[in-house]
Amino acid sequence: MDLAKHIKPLTGELDWPMWKHKIRDLLDYHEGALDVIDNKLMKPRPLEGNATEVQIKQHKEKCDLYRKANSYAKSMITSSVTDAVYQKIMDKETAHDAWEASKI
């Protein structure tokens, strides 16, 4: 989390291009984080009742990957914006939604 401290907080539209590149570079460090903000990695749908043990294990792994990537990406985004921008993104459930809302 300390890495986000080195990025000047997003204050508005003028900062967006530079801030976007810095955050994307930071998110590239964590598996799946870029995919979450790009909406390529989404929360897996619930399994059906007749899932096999292998399917259950694979589903759990996908859920864990999504949860970790989404949490990391969202925390990096929210910790590198001003309070004014934070107010626009604080109620977003996913990192992707926070990313989209931060575009101002």
Each residue's pLDDT tens digit, 44-68:
999 988 999 999 999 999 999 999 9
* Separation between Cα atoms, residue 94 and residue 45, nearest integer Å: 15
Largest CA distance in the chain: 52
Residues 77, 95 contacting (CB under 8 angstroms): yes
* Separation between Cα atoms, residue 13 and residue 35, nearest integer Å: 23
Task: Identify the residue with better confidence: 85 or 5.
Answer: 85
| 3-class state of residue 28 by DSSP | coil
Beta-carbon count within 10 A of 99 CB:
22
Confidence of residue 2 (pLDDT cuts 50, 70, 90): low
pTM of the model: 0.90
